[in-house]
Homo-oligomer: A and B are copies of this chain.
Amino acid sequence: MPPTPRRSTILEVARLAGASKTSVSRYFGEERDRLSPSLQARIAHAAGTLGYQPNQMARGLKGGRSKLLGMLVADIRNPFSVAITHGVEQACRQYGYSLVVCNTDNDPEQERQHLDLLGAYQVEGLVVNASGSPERQLHTFISQGTPIVLLDREVDHVEAEVVGLDNHLAIDMALEHLVDQGYQAVLYVSEAPQQSSTRQKRLARFNHTTEQLGLIHSSSLLANSDGTATLQALSDFLATHQQHACAVLCGNGNATLTVTRLFQQLDLSLGKIGLMGIDELEWCALISPGITTLAQPTDAMGKTAVQCLMHRIAPHASSMPAALSFSPTLIERGSTQR
């Protein structure tokens, strides 16, 4: 094999520019101004000729700044996660950081491994959308002074900022809308709440507010995405309360997807039986007459998470965000029109 041409190093640039490594380093660091114009020009030229780019590994090693942020995502194929990730990535770039995204596919073991790995790459901060409760790993980061922000889900015994939807508000807005539209009985469909503080909160709030409003209510948990248990629950609910105007409220995008399928299986007409979901999905407008949703401001949430981190990494670069809890936006469509 022919010897592979290597990336050029700071030493080569220095030599070609007739300067010291120190100066070249300064040129590519924050101290370019300290260099005389002529030195700057020589270095610029030499670097250009050699196609030089500082090695971030070396930089990180010596300076202690990897310029890397890590993000742990529970399920990268979930549209909500995709949207958030997009926001986080944008924000990172804005602060001059790169992002290492790790998907755990909701597997606690993968989650732990990824977290260790992120540590090994010396990420300077971490956005965590947890699937399990990787307490030990997170505490390791915290005790080393690496800031962490939790996204959407809290983690037991881990104290960190939590960026997410105002779940109480979301449920209340949904129920208020359903009541306004004249529905009298509401079935709440959610994925299994264990492991997700968000799901727990939404479910609890559903029970709370629904009691308070005097609404007929019930709930069903999705078992393993097949939805057969919920099919049963749904038809029972409708049968029991057929003298009332019934609606289904879905706790997140996945629930909306499953329930929409069930509506089709049962040949229910959207609107006559109300349907509403938390999370806006691209197809919600397409299922005629449209599915009413509560959209989350995902870009803002992603940006806020990064801002939290940056505030702790480099307090001068970013102020603490004003709020970590976000309001949803009601997108009204035919599915809640009786």
- Is B286 in contact with A145, judged by CB distance below 8 angstroms? no
Chain B's closest residue to A140 (CB) is: B51
This chain's copy number in the assembly: 2
User: Which of B57, B119, B145 meets A121, CB within 8 Å?
Assistant: B57
Query: How big is chain A's contact interface, by range?
Result: 35 or more
The answer to whether the Cβ of A127 comes within 8 Å of any Cβ in the partner chain is no
If A76-B82, A86-B76 touch, does A57 touch B60 (CB 8 Å cutoff)?
Answer: yes
- Is B144 in contact with A53, judged by CB distance below 8 angstroms? no
If A4-B145, A77-B82, A86-B103 touch, does A55 touch B287 (CB 8 Å cutoff)?
Answer: no
Chain B's closest residue to A143 (CB) is: B5
Q: Is the interface of A mostly helix, strand, loop or mixed?
A: mixed
The answer for the CA separation of A106 and B7 in the assembled complex, in Å, is 28
The answer to whether the Cβ of A331 comes within 8 Å of any Cβ in the partner chain is no
| Residue numbers in B under 8 Å from A77 (CB-CB) | 82-83, 86
The answer to whether the Cβ of A85 comes within 8 Å of any Cβ in the partner chain is yes
If A6-B144, A83-B77, A144-B7 touch, does A100 touch B103 (CB 8 Å cutoff)?
Answer: no
Can you name 11 extra interface pairs (CB under 8 A) apart from A57-B61, A98-B102? A6-B144, A53-B120, A56-B122, A57-B66, A57-B121, A58-B61, A89-B102, A99-B101, A100-B100, A281-B283, A283-B287
Binding site for B on A (CB under 8 A): 4-7, 51, 53-58, 60-61, 66, 68, 76-77, 82-83, 85-86, 89, 93, 98-103, 110, 116-117, 119-122, 140, 143-145, 257, 260-261, 264, 281-283, 285-288
